[in-house]
Chains A and B, each alone.
Chain A
């Protein structure tokens, strides 16, 4: 990984030159929140944005898309929306979220729909100073060592720019004149100072070691029913979580009855019909069971399988759940309360 510097005043010029690679997307305001949107005017980018309503997973597994068109004797996959894209402004937690999706969708059973979109996209990270809903330090996802093509770290009136891939190197070369390759000891000092500042700003700090044990011991806890009484089963917590990846598919016939599309859309384990199987049995009919599954996935099963939680600490569930059920509350309750054994 190599480091360069870019003057802040040159950022817009550089963003402009990125458009020669493909469509440029970044965070823009929506009301009091932010969303990733296409940046036709680079000055629209919201550099102050912390979390967008939906995480960048929406680019790689769109909430709803057509997998293929079928007719009586053939099918044709639909990749109309797959085109070269640059995503600018991903914070470390979201890059970690994408790396988790990569493990799920590219490793054992590669998902062509995910892969095509992923391969066409360049990822440019951006450093951030946490707010009171960020908990990425607890999940150890507050910094990135990979998973990006370029990563911008704000440092006074400059950005320190990490090049994380050969594509990143190509992207720098789109406008090489703007970059400065001379890094000195002062830059290192400034960077270390910035890191200390960032780390000191976390308000949510949890020790997650041994979380699978705690989850196991809490299996019969009353907590799940208490949460279930409040939970609206609206599924919003799954939709906004950068690592939730469940989906459902259905065939939608054309009126000709001879052709149609296979459609795929996001699903959520909070949905009552999620674990309903043919024959009518529902493995998780009770809301308490479903909540337990959600948090087992985040804090236990994923750790056992992949050695890290599948929560990247982005704080979106904290920002989204209408009845204030979120990963921080659950961890607090699990670690604070007496658990039945």
Chain B
């Protein structure tokens, strides 16, 4: 049997905690298999990838974009990658650093935190998810990502197949795990509006879901807010919780409900129309034809 070229893969990280890349690095039992399945061309925990100019089949990108320099790197990665996958909630939604996205006072907030500083390395900008600037083929959310969901996506892409991620909210898995419902017990649980796939990690430990996987395609945020208000949570508390990890996804889809005026900070215009963050279903056709067909010759 002829040797079939493995898909060329790159891993990159922008502004985030590196938790997603570390999740992958910590797969000690599977790491060798990952290296066998794909040809890893770069695995950068920093954003100094401008010199890296090789064509890639798949790029996995962690972190949000917070400087002009990162934006240029991201565009470069996009240009030379057939499939670009955002990994982790920072790359997908902007991360907690995007919790105040859309408030329009970013420069003021920046000065309050850092003071009047001269930017020597790169020009900062408000945190945005990757799809604010480039086309993202798949979003694998999570804070951090779940390794099984990552393997699932990796193997699908390596075979040139579309990736269908979990479409249920956290509640479905929470019931599979037979947890007592924390929302019914009066806690502020975001399980019903949050994308599943984490195996309801937090409710399994008696902690309410804080929404770290971002909203589901069907999130009924209006009803969740009403319900929580009935449970005597303040509007501010509810909105802050929803925005903490929901970032751009919340702003784009539910600005009205959250009382957000979607003004963009001056000089940083949104580049395209809002897009649903987890666009697996929609992206299917396009990416299927673009995906590396590494194994296509290998049929019995």
Q: Which residue of A lies closest to B159 (CB)?
A: A257
Chain A 244-262, CB-CB to B under 8 Å as 1, else 0, gives 0000001011111100100
What's the least CB distance linking B166 to chain A, in Å? 9
Cα A323 to Cα B231 in complex, Å, equals: 11
> Which of B43-51, B81-89, B128-136, B170-178 lies at the interface with chain A?
B170-178
Q: With an 8 A cutoff between CB atoms, is B37 at the interface?
A: yes
Query: A residues within 8 A CB of B172?
Result: 234-236, 239, 266, 268, 271
Query: A residues within 8 A CB of B156?
Result: 253
Q: With an 8 A cutoff between CB atoms, is B33 at the interface?
A: yes
Give the residue of A254, A272, A322 whose beta carbon is less than 8 angstroms from that of B167: A272
Query: Would you list which residues of chain A between 44 and 73 have a CB under 8 Å from chain B?
Result: 52-54, 63-64, 72-73
Query: A residues within 8 A CB of B152?
Result: 252-253
What's the least CB distance linking A283 to chain B, in Å? 14
Chain B 190-233, CB-CB to A under 8 Å as 1, else 0, gives 01110000000000000000000000111010111011000000
Find out whether the CB atom of B223 lies under 8 angstroms from the CB atom of A230. yes
Find out whether the CB atom of B183 lies under 8 angstroms from the CB atom of A256. no
Find out whether the CB atom of B300 lies under 8 angstroms from the CB atom of A272. no
Cα A217 to Cα B148 in complex, Å, equals: 47
Find out whether the CB atom of A273 lies under 8 angstroms from the CB atom of B281. yes
Chain A 78-111, CB-CB to B under 8 Å as 1, else 0, gives 0000000000000000000000000000000000
Give the residue of B36, B180, B193 whose beta carbon is less than 8 angstroms from that of A256: B36
Find out whether the CB atom of A53 lies under 8 angstroms from the CB atom of B178. yes
Query: B residues within 8 A CB of A30?
Result: 178, 180
Among B33, B154, B168, B300, max chain A CB count under 10 A is at B168
Give the residue of A31, A239, A256, A323 whose beta carbon is less than 8 angstroms from that of B227: A323
Among B34, B169, B172, B220, max chain A CB count under 10 A is at B172
Find out whether the CB atom of B158 lies under 8 angstroms from the CB atom of A239. no
Query: Would you list which residues of chain A between 273 and 304 have a CB under 8 Å from chain B?
Result: 273, 276, 280, 287
Query: B residues within 8 A CB of A136?
Result: none
Q: With an 8 A cutoff between CB atoms, is A203 at the interface?
A: no
Query: B residues within 8 A CB of A213?
Result: none
Given contacts A30-B178, A254-B155, A320-B181, contact A231 B223 (CB under 8 A): yes
Given contacts A35-B178, A255-B37, A322-B184, contact A73 B155 (CB under 8 A): no
What's the least CB distance linking A72 to chain B, in Å? 6
Find out whether the CB atom of B300 lies under 8 angstroms from the CB atom of A73. yes
Q: With an 8 A cutoff between CB atoms, is B30 at the interface?
A: yes
Chain A 306-322, CB-CB to B under 8 Å as 1, else 0, gives 00000000000000101
What's the least CB distance linking B210 to chain A, in Å? 16
Q: With an 8 A cutoff between CB atoms, is B26 at the interface?
A: no
Give the residue of B36, B179, B192 whose beta carbon is less than 8 angstroms from that of A255: B36
Q: With an 8 A cutoff between CB atoms, is A197 at the interface?
A: no
Cα A253 to Cα B282 in complex, Å, equals: 22
Q: With an 8 A cutoff between CB atoms, is A229 at the interface?
A: yes
Q: With an 8 A cutoff between CB atoms, is A233 at the interface?
A: yes
Q: Which residue of B lies closest to A272 (CB)?
A: B218
Query: B residues within 8 A CB of A252?
Result: 152, 155
Find out whether the CB atom of A236 lies under 8 angstroms from the CB atom of B223. no
Given contacts A35-B178, A257-B158, contact A273 B167 (CB under 8 A): yes
Q: With an 8 A cutoff between CB atoms, is A32 at the interface?
A: yes
Q: Which residue of A lies closest to B155 (CB)?
A: A253
What's the least CB distance linking B179 to chain A, in Å? 8
Query: B residues within 8 A CB of A273?
Result: 167, 217, 281
Find out whether the CB atom of B169 lies under 8 angstroms from the CB atom of A234. yes
Find out whether the CB atom of B175 lies under 8 angstroms from the CB atom of A233. no
Cα A30 to Cα B168 in complex, Å, equals: 24
Q: Which residue of B lies closest to A64 (CB)?
A: B176
Query: A residues within 8 A CB of B34?
Result: 255
Find out whether the CB atom of B37 lies under 8 angstroms from the CB atom of A257. yes
Q: With an 8 A cutoff between CB atoms, is B295 at the interface?
A: yes
Q: With an 8 A cutoff between CB atoms, is B151 at the interface?
A: yes
Find out whether the CB atom of A233 lies under 8 angstroms from the CB atom of B169. yes
Query: Would you list which residues of chain B between 256 and 300 have a CB under 8 Å from chain A?
Result: 281-282, 295, 300
Q: Which residue of B lies closest to A256 (CB)?
A: B33
What's the least CB distance linking A124 to chain B, in Å? 21
Query: B residues within 8 A CB of A240?
Result: 175
Q: Which residue of A lies closest to B37 (CB)?
A: A255
Give the residue of B154, B175, B216 whose beta carbon is less than 8 angstroms from that of A236: B175
Q: With an 8 A cutoff between CB atoms, is A33 at the interface?
A: yes
Q: Told that A234-B169, A240-B175, A323-B227 touch, could you supply 17 new A-B pairs with CB distance under 8 A?
A: A33-B180, A53-B175, A54-B176, A73-B300, A229-B222, A232-B169, A234-B172, A234-B192, A235-B169, A253-B156, A253-B159, A255-B36, A255-B155, A257-B37, A265-B176, A266-B176, A271-B167
Interface of A toward B, CB cutoff 8 Å: 30-33, 35, 52-54, 63-64, 72-73, 229-236, 239-240, 250, 252-257, 260, 265-266, 268, 271-273, 276, 280, 287, 320, 322-323
- 26 A-B residue contacts at CB 8 Å? A30-B180, A54-B175, A54-B176, A72-B300, A229-B223, A230-B223, A231-B223, A232-B169, A232-B192, A233-B169, A235-B169, A235-B171, A236-B172, A239-B172, A253-B155, A253-B156, A253-B159, A255-B154, A272-B216, A272-B217, A273-B281, A320-B181, A322-B181, A322-B184, A322-B227, A323-B223
Interface of B toward A, CB cutoff 8 Å: 30, 33-34, 36-37, 151-152, 154-156, 158-159, 164, 167-169, 171-172, 174-176, 178-181, 183-184, 191-193, 216-218, 220, 222-224, 226-227, 281-282, 295, 300
